[in-house]
Structures are given as C-alpha cells and as structure tokens.
Amino acid sequence: MAGRRLLEKLLEKRRSSGRLHFTLIDPDKTGPAEAGEIAARAAEAGSDAVLVGGSIGVTFEETDEVVKAAKTSGLPVILFPGGHTNASRHADAVLFLTVLNSDNPYYIVQAQILGAPLALKLGLEAIPTSYIIVGYGGAAGFVARARPIPYEKPELAALHALAGAMMGGRIVYLEAGSGAPKPVPPEAVAASRKLIDAAGYRGEVLLTVGGGVRTPEAARAAAEAGADVLVTGTLAEENPERLAEIVKAFKSGSPT
C-alpha cells in the first residue's frame, strides 16, 4: 500500500510499547516452507516484522514465494533489497535505502531512481532508510562498495547517523554485516543515539542495529546503548529456537 502507514504504525508501537525486533529471511538461503516456519516462530517470539532480502542471487520468484510464506505469520513483511529489482507486490513495504558510505552512485541514488517506479507500480510503501555499514560489513558492505566505518571510530558512525536522519531517513540502520564476527559496537550506537536525540528526532526515527548479534548479552548491550530496533537474520535461520531469548533480552526494560 502506498503512503506511510506501516512506518507510522511501527513508530507508534515504538513510542507506546517499547523497542522493536525484526527477523531477516534471505530467499537465497531459505525456501518458502522454511520461511513460513521461521516467520511463525518470529511472531511467537515477539518479533515485530519480517524483512525479506539478500545481497546476492535473489530471484523474483523466490522473493514472491518467501514473502507470501512470511505473511502467513500475520507479521508485516518488509523488503530489504540488495538491488532495485528485488521487489514483490505481496510485501507491505520496502526499506527504501541509500547506502550513506558507499563509493558507488548506484547504491546512493541510482538504485532508488530505478526502484521508485517499481515500488509505485507494486503498491509498496517506501520507508526512507539511511543505511550505514560498520566494521566487517559482510556481503552487503562488499557488494555496495562501502567504505566501512572502523569499529573503533564511534564518532564517525554517529555523524553518519545524524546526517542520515537529517537527510530524511526514518530508519537509520547501523549494519555490521550479516554474520559479522562482532556486532556494531555499543559505543557507536550510543553516540548515534545522542546526536539523533540532540537534533530532535527521538520518536521520529528508528535507530536500527543489525549484523552479528547472536547472544542475549549483545542484544541487551544494543538496547542499553539506545537502539530502537534490532535485526537478526543468521540466528533466525540457524537457531530459531533461540529467537525468543534474544527478543526478550532486547525488549526488556522497554519502552524507554
């Protein structure tokens, strides 16, 4: 559906009920049957949305089928595209992302120009997303030709996050890369939180963290540092039975 409806719902949920968790499913790795199971588990575990996407090798058919399967969970399904053709009319929305620290204009603005008419035709809500790749970066960092922000430079991550919010990103996403050996450092999350709040965006922007979060301790650290949203993908694929403890660790103590 065009417009801003899901984004507004997510912001409202964050304001009233606390932090949010998104479960990422990559259609290149996970077929529809398994995607349906993961999404059902995610819903049970208290996850708030399913992201569907991957950097490499995702076909239209796979995306469509995985999105449809994920929808059976009742959770909203948001595309997380690795390129402008990763679209599906069955999704609720698309993370309309610009990679702030890419060196390649395709990932900064061209994919968005090519993807915009697809989102319009397919009736997908576009969620303005400022995507910032930190440290390891994984396949997303490599494919998007990012200059990853060093783990030990939290102030640089924070300046990207502030600019991302000032440029209109409603999701400001600090990404360590799927399967990262170390998640985004809590110091980088905290420094980003501080600047986003100082600029008056608290409650309007979802500071989102993902990549390499595998333990309740890491989830809790992201929460305490001020993340609004935690994304986990690998954990949901490999150990879905552990999703509930991660979601609980991230959400405990919410809404603050």
Ligand X SMILES: O=P(O)(O)OC[C@@H](O)CO
Binding residues for Mg(2+) are 26, 55
The residue nearest Mg ion at its CB is 54
Q: Which stretch binds ligand X (CB under 6 A): 96-104, 175-183, 188-196, 247-255?
A: 175-183
Which residues carry a binding-site annotation for sn-glycerol 1-phosphate?
Answer: 173-179, 211-212, 233-234
Q: Which of residues 10-29 bind ligand GRG (CB under 6 A)?
A: 26
> Contact, 234 vs 42, CB < 8 A?
no
Q: Does 184 bind ligand GRG (CB under 6 A)?
A: no
Residue closer to ligand X (CB basis): 127 or 231: 231
For residue 14, give every residue at least 6 positions away whose Cβ sits within 8 Å of its Cβ, in sequence order, or none. 20, 203, 206, 228, 229, 255
Residue 29 burial (CB count, 10 A): 16
Residue closer to ligand X (CB basis): 199 or 215: 215
Which residues carry a binding-site annotation?
Answer: 26, 55, 173-179, 211-212, 233-234
- The residue type of 165 is A
Length of the chain as a residue count: 256
Least distance CB 32 / Mg ion (angstroms): 16
Q: Does 211 bind ligand X (CB under 6 A)?
A: yes
In the numeric block, which tokens belong to residue 216?
Answer: 């309740």
Q: Does 26 bind Mg ion (CB under 5 A)?
A: yes
Residue at token pair 């969620």: 127
Q: What is the 3-state secondary structure (H, E, C) of 4-54?
A: CHHHHHHHHHHHHHCCEEEEEECCCCCCHHHHHHHHHHHHHHCCCEEEECC
Residue closer to ligand X (CB basis): 28 or 199: 28
Return residues touching ligand X (CB under 6 A): 24, 140, 175, 178-180, 210-213, 231-235
